[in-house]
Amino acid sequence: MSFLRRATVVASSMFVFGVAGLACSSSDDDAQPLDNGVDDVKLACEARASWTTPAAEKCVACRMMASSPDCGCEAFKGFGGHCAAQGDARRAEPTCTQQVADCRTACAENDCACLDGCYAAAEACKKATAAEDGCVAKICEQYCN
């Protein structure tokens, strides 16, 4: 894929997600500055592995909704959409292929070395995922411990 075509796809995706985010955002503008937390796939995994209540309802909701556009829903207040920009960037990254996703799925939940190894041939995807995983680990920690 040419650079110009890839840039157009990324820009279009960002516009669509941006419009969706605006349509779903809450009226009290909870916009947060970008914060990638540890900004590292393996360190974010290790942080999640140390959580004491990862199956708690609020923790699960946070992990699912932090990287999605904020819907303004009361149930997701405090974390919904907090990492949406990082999630959008990861979803737009062409090297984040189904093969990488399948590798992540095949790793045991707290096997951080396995997870980190999934990005051996996808450095740009690893960088985008590090930002998203780091952000989610940071924002969800309060709901998962």
Q: Where are the domains of the chain?
A: 41-143
DSSP letter at 33 equals: -
- Mean pLDDT for 26-53 is 80
Tell me the two tokens of residue 97.
């292929």
pLDDT value of position 8: 35
For residue 130, what are the contacts with CB-CB under 8 A and spacing of at least 6? Answer: 36, 39, 40, 41, 44
Which of 18-27, 41-50, 75-84, 117-126 shows the lowest per-residue confidence on average (mean pLDDT)?
A: 18-27
Tell me the two tokens of residue 64.
């699912």
- Mean pLDDT for 76-83 is 95
**Does pLDDT of 116 surpass 50?**
yes
Count each helix (H run) and each strand (E run) in the chain, helices first: 7, 0
pLDDT value of position 14: 38
Distances (CA, A) of 40 to 51, 115, 138: 17, 11, 12
- pLDDT bracket for residue 128 (50, 70, 90): very high
Phi, psi of 115 (to 5 degrees): -60, -45
**Does pLDDT of 62 surpass 70?**
yes
- Mean pLDDT for 53-63 is 95
Mean pLDDT of the chain: 83
- Mean pLDDT for 93-105 is 97
